A and B are shown apart, each in its own frame.
Chain A
């Protein structure tokens, strides 16, 4: 029998009842999950335990209790694991006096690549992250986006099977985000196991459907993002519509089956609604705007964020 989990198509990362304490503070609480090939997002607000989980998987920390294995091995300080794992940390620290090219090349050499291999791979990954023509400048002079790209490049230099990316989209402009997401999608298509952490729901939705949802150190949900979305959609969403004709808007919107309640704001220029199945509501709102000529000057949904998701999931 083939014992290699990656060739078996099995789960490469296994956590069983993993907890991690920092003195009296718990960073991760009794997490059990498996992560296999493809792109998985680790979603949670700041302080949810995402970085702790990343550091446990990348073998920088040991679990206080429970068991964590990668390729059926403990990752802590394990060179066998690091040969097959790339890690892009959240921190924005580098050897600032190095050029991006020298930095990536040096880490390639530490990954066990020969001088020639490391040089070749450095060019390949710099090309992939769009830094090939800018990598000779000192890192100290790089923008946040360039630094993120260099971090991704160093994580990919040894062509690992697992790539961990801790908040990789922070500081990237929209074009950069799109390019980054495309790279991750490409790597996932190649059969890599990619775990990306983020605290932005919208960002994650663009990347993958497979998620792990962390809240206050606990794994609150895992699986398909659509399932979680549908759970969310069953709860009334707050929607605020700004318009010069709030009464006319109320008449037009009251006929929609998704609208649960509505309230006029005292300013007389906005309407607050509670709606179910918000995506369907947004489609119908667009029809009303187009067909009935309702002028909408502003539109916000304060519920379309992670905090609301957690509120729904814990029934708060």
Chain B
């Protein structure tokens, strides 16, 4: 039963029309990293990689999470197929957590593909990237964290995707660069702490957009702890909420 739920969810998320745009975005990251040297001739490959990774690949995870996570439940409600899932002998908490896991795996893998392609572009090959291993961990953790947060948002708000996109693009762009400890309220900050990207000397607007200005003072261990805590709390709240509340398509309930 659990395997059937997981396989169905993975099958849904991996439909070509859903996955193709993300692979194209990964390709764009690779091309951008490749030509970054032309734009910034004095930068090292590792800086090129770090900038493109922070600016695009980490965003891909946030954006993909917003889109795939809302498909877990709210899309089922909107297309009114939720009834087939909720009238089966599957505990609701189990249903939502399995579907969450499927979406996180897909989002994480898309992020990892983006990082690998970026590394390929920046280093003109797969070898020699000292940041890659930690980046992959950060991206996977980011997929879990964004997924858990957006899952909860999708359960309690209408038009959840809009709110998630605003968070992914607006909040996560502005907050990491804010003064004081405001950056502690951003998932991206913790992802960057896990990734341990080196502080860049490049003060361009693009780097500002990447949220990579200054030195990240949060330790990797603390970042792991906070993101894992966020995931646990958000998933517990989501499971409780989904178990106790009614999910009947709006027009049917009137």
Contact = CB atoms under 8 A, between A and B. Distances in A.
B1 A109 contact: yes
- The residue in B5, B87, B243, B247 that gathers the most chain A C-beta atoms within 10 A of its C-beta is B87
A184 B177 CA distance: 65
B5 to A, nearest CB: 7
Interface in A76-117: 77, 79-80, 82-83, 85, 87, 89, 91, 93-95, 97, 106-107, 109-112
B39 interface: no
A112 B92 CA distance: 14
Contacts of A85: 87
A141 to B, nearest CB: 17
A194 to B, nearest CB: 16
Contacts of B84: 89, 107, 110, 154
Interface in A36-90: 51, 55, 58-62, 77, 79-80, 82-83, 85, 87, 89
B4 A110 contact: yes
B205 interface: no
A91 B15 CA distance: 24
Contacts of B80: 91, 93
Contacts of A58: 87
A62 B81 CA distance: 19
Interface of B is mostly: loop
Contacts of A106: 4, 8
A279 to B, nearest CB: 38
A60 B246 contact: yes
Nearest to B87: A87
Contacts of B1: 109-112
A93 B79 contact: yes
Contacts of A22: 253-254
Contacts of A91: 80, 83, 249, 252
Contacts of A111: 1, 88-89
A60 B248 contact: yes
B185 interface: no
A112 B86 contact: no
Given A106-B4, A112-B1, A77 B86 contact: yes
Interface string B220-252: 000000000000000000000001001111001
Contact of B90 (A61, A62, A110): A110
Contacts of A62: 246
A61 B249 CA distance: 11
Contact of A60 (B83, B89, B90): B83
Interface residue tally on B, bucketed by range: 20 to 34
A82 B83 contact: no
Given A85-B87, A97-B15, A110 B5 contact: yes
B21 interface: no
A59 B87 CA distance: 7
A154 B85 CA distance: 12
A87 B82 CA distance: 13
Interface string B59-96: 00000000000000000000111011111111110000
A80 to B, nearest CB: 7
Contacts of A93: 79-81
Contacts of A94: 81
A86 to B, nearest CB: 8
A79 B83 contact: no
A251 interface: no
B40 to A, nearest CB: 45
Sorted nearest first, the 9 A-B pairs with minimum C-beta distance are: A109-B4, A79-B89, A93-B80, A110-B88, A82-B89, A83-B89, A87-B87, A89-B83, A91-B80
26 contacts: A25-B254, A51-B252, A55-B248, A59-B86, A61-B246, A61-B248, A61-B253, A77-B92, A77-B243, A79-B88, A79-B89, A82-B88, A82-B90, A87-B87, A91-B80, A91-B83, A93-B79, A94-B81, A95-B12, A109-B4, A110-B1, A110-B4, A110-B5, A110-B84, A110-B90, A111-B89
Interface of A: 22, 25, 51, 55, 58-62, 77, 79-80, 82-83, 85, 87, 89, 91, 93-95, 97, 106-107, 109-112, 154
Interface of B: 1, 4-5, 8, 12, 15, 79-81, 83-92, 243, 246-249, 252-254
Given A62-B246, A77-B92, 12 more contacts: A51-B252, A60-B247, A61-B248, A77-B91, A79-B88, A79-B91, A82-B90, A97-B15, A107-B84, A110-B89, A111-B1, A112-B1
